[in-house]
Amino acid sequence: MRKEIAIKLFRLLKMALVILMLIAVTMLLISSQVKNKGALFFSELENLRPAQAVMILGARVYGDGRVSLMLRDRLDMGSRVYSEAKAAKILLSGDHGQKDYNEVRAMKDYLLEKGVPEEDIFMDHAGFNTYDSMYRAKEVFEAKSLIVVTQEYHLYRALFIAEEMGIEVQGIAADIHYYPGVYLKNTVRELAARSKAFVMAKIIRPEPRFLGETIPITGDGRATDDLLGQD
């Protein structure tokens, strides 16, 4: 009896391992496809074509309003792209789902201190994830062309989603500093994130958590100031 139970348990374990291996292989294949497609739209600053807006994706903001190192690098690179006249506007997309946590406000304040005119800064308060950010960029802000700025590990996925949305997209990596620990953790998480992005952008295409009235990126960015992510 014990032997039969042991055999059954062994078979179940073997089956579970096979399933896990199949899942892992599938995720690796999808990740590779997302990365390869996203890489097609990478560029260097001097090679960027003009676009409607520079899109800077949000990241961690501290309780006192300071931006994290990764986010600061994104903002520095994005403002450089803007100052080089590669785009007329800047679109900040981040998490402002709670009154006491506002990525886009901190991002805007940082850019204002660098001398970027307020009317050229658009705030997407409902960019809770990369998929929502890209969907809203097209449908809410009516962006037809974007230069996306984020770290390299994230840029592949962002560009993949944007291209699937029908946006004329380019990307530039903001890896100005080395991010010990954080970078490694996020790189590993990208395996699952890319698989999710593939399914959402290429197969099911759900609406983001919030949509709302359009705010054309060609207008005045001050119309988006201090709106909680409820539009």
Position 138 pLDDT exceeds 90? yes
C-alpha–C-alpha distance, residues 56 and 148, integer Å: 6
Of the pLDDT bands very low, low, confident and very high (cuts 50, 70, 90), residue 230 is very low
Contact 137, 161 (CB under 8 A): no
Core vs surface per residue 50-68: b (16+ CB within 10 A) or e: ebbbbbbbbbbbeeeeebb
Q: Residue 58 — very low, low, confident or very high, per pLDDT cuts 50/70/90?
A: very high
Structural domain boundaries in the chain:
37-224
Higher per-residue confidence, 67 vs 182: 67
Ranges 18-27, 67-76, 214-223: which has the least confidence? 18-27
pTM of this structure:
0.89
Q: What CATH topology corresponds to 37-224?
A: Rossmann fold (3.40.50)
DSSP 41: T
Please state, in angstroms and rounded to a whole number, the distance separating the CA atoms of residues 139 and 132.
10
Among 59, 36, 47, residue whose Cα is nearest residue 151: 59
